[in-house]
A = this chain, B = another copy of it.
Amino acid sequence: MTDDPRETAGGSPEGVSRRGLLGILGAGAAGLAIGGGAGAGIAAAVAGAQPRPGAQTYPFFGEHQSGITTPVQDRLHFAAFDLASSATRDDLRSLLEDWSAAAARLVRGLDVTEEGAVGGPLVAPPDDTGEALDLPASGLTLTFGFGPGLFDDRFGLADRRPAELEPLPRFSGDALVPAQGGGDLCIQACADDPQVAVHAIRNLSRIAFGRAALRWSQLGFGRTSSTSTDQVTARNLMGFKDGTANLKAEDPDTAAAVWVAEGDDPGAAWLAGGSFLVVRKIRMLIESWDRAQLQEQERVIGRDKGEGAPLSGGTEFTPIDLTGTGPSGAPLVDEAAHVRLAHPDTNGGAKLLRRGYNYVDGNDELGRLDAGLFFIAYQRSPAQFITVQSRLASDALNEYIKHVGSAIFAVPPGAREGGFVGEGLFA
């Protein structure tokens, strides 16, 4: 026992105090406190009918996982994990169960357990690390995926492996750093507050202790690809609007381009309603780019820098005319322009749902910003990404970027209420 005056004043019968409620009541009219389970109702009552900033929530359970066609949030913490060498099939299953239980609470703005950061015994480490105690859900989504390695001979899952879940081929210009790619499992945490995203990854990492460990992780900001027609197109660190032509949740084509359908892969029926996720850490050679003429930058991208309109004319959302030529007969959109080579018409109709983020990881020893785009794309089949990325071998943009990280994951469908993400793997 301690000399803690709160315990002498009114400890619980077990001699440990449960102070989640006390702490929340103490926060008073600010109405920002959502901590343990008891806190949610109180905070809601305090806040009354006025939605608080950051009050947006997305469901964890459902047909599909959230965080894919969800309107892309402002901040990212992406994490890849490797299972421990000692991990068993039961460990994997229990980890997915535990992650799901925690995730279902976290996306509601709650701590990972009911005891949470401050509601448990004084003489035990808290269940939750606490840095999000006063923060609302902030639109948090947690999206889980399975890397190819999960289907080797360790967990008896080889016969559940999606036929297309193979490590990506080598692409022209790859300069991959192994430590910045791959992984048995991944979690994409997106939120409108970076502290909420970081809190989620940290606590899920902690839950994994002994079963899986962080392999690599990446923070990002300034969503570069709108996934809803309600969103303004943001700019990447080349200064161009990025994602103008992205698939949007509202597009009638999106479902067929993103979700694995029943029957796509009879050997991996568990993946129906899921998707394939490709991530690529693309470092920008910022200094070279910044020294390029505006005309060269626009030629490389194929759009105007200010408005984001295609060089074939019009405004931002005008469809690109890949056939138009200028007075000299040269194409208005260069043969090597990024928008031409990435365009569905150049790729047999292949479309990706992108939801990438800008990143800055400080600077390198030469004083250059270590910055670029953390590319994230969801698609029904990895072939969609492979087709486009192969076409980009002749992309004029390649002079100004290098791909330093890469990973692929099969993203299972959403968990059912009372179930857990990836449950179908074990059926």
Closest Cβ neighbor of A125 among chain B residues: B291
A304 within 8 A of B: yes
Distance of A71 from chain B, by nearest CB (Å): 16
Q: A206-B290, A235-B133 are in contact. Are A222 and B195 (CB under 8 A)?
A: yes
Report B-chain residues with C-beta under 8 Å of the C-beta of A122. 293-295, 298
Binary interface profile of A, 276-308, with partner B (CB < 8 Å = 1, else 0)? 000000000010001111110111000011110
Distance of A9 from chain B, by nearest CB (Å): 9
Interface residues of A in 321-362 (CB under 8 A from B): 325-328, 330-332, 358, 360-362
Tell me the interface secondary structure of chain A in the complex: loop
Distance of A330 from chain B, by nearest CB (Å): 5
Binary interface profile of A, 1-45, with partner B (CB < 8 Å = 1, else 0)? 011111010000000000110111011001010010000000000
Contact check, B198 vs A360: say whether CB atoms are below 8 A apart.
yes
Report B-chain residues with C-beta under 8 Å of the C-beta of A35. 306
Contact check, B293 vs A123: say whether CB atoms are below 8 A apart.
yes
A214 within 8 A of B: yes
Contact check, B360 vs A219: say whether CB atoms are below 8 A apart.
yes
Contact among B79, B217, B330 for A3, CB-based, below 8 A: B330
Contact among B20, B26, B130, B297 for A315, CB-based, below 8 A: B26
Closest Cβ neighbor of A203 among chain B residues: B290
Closest Cβ neighbor of A23 among chain B residues: B306
A417 within 8 A of B: no
Contact check, A306 vs B367: say whether CB atoms are below 8 A apart.
no
Most chain B CB inside 10 Å of its own CB: which residue of A123, A133, A327, A371 = A133
Interface residues of A in 248-264 (CB under 8 A from B): none
A167 within 8 A of B: no
Q: A213-B367, A362-B218 are in contact. Are A134 and B294 (CB under 8 A)?
A: no
Report B-chain residues with C-beta under 8 Å of the C-beta of A369. 201-202, 205, 214, 217
Distance of A23 from chain B, by nearest CB (Å): 2
A77 within 8 A of B: yes
Contact among B26, B235, B330 for A306, CB-based, below 8 A: B26
A406 within 8 A of B: no
Contact check, A362 vs B217: say whether CB atoms are below 8 A apart.
yes
Q: A4-B311, A26-B315 are in contact. List 13 more A-B contacts (CB 8 A).
A: A3-B325, A120-B294, A124-B293, A125-B293, A126-B239, A130-B305, A131-B237, A133-B239, A134-B235, A195-B358, A213-B367, A214-B368, A217-B363
Q: Could you list which residues of chain A lie within 8 angstroms of chain B, going by C-beta atoms? A: 2-6, 8, 19-20, 22-24, 26-27, 30, 32, 35, 77, 79, 117-118, 120-126, 128-134, 179, 193-195, 198, 201-202, 205-206, 213-219, 221-222, 232, 234-240, 286, 290-295, 297-299, 304-307, 309, 311-313, 315-316, 325-328, 330-332, 358, 360-363, 365-369, 371
A-B contact pairs, 26 of them (CB 8 A): A3-B327, A4-B295, A6-B304, A19-B304, A19-B306, A22-B306, A22-B307, A30-B232, A123-B295, A129-B237, A130-B238, A130-B305, A131-B237, A131-B239, A132-B235, A179-B365, A194-B194, A194-B221, A194-B222, A195-B235, A198-B237, A205-B369, A213-B366, A214-B369, A216-B362, A218-B362
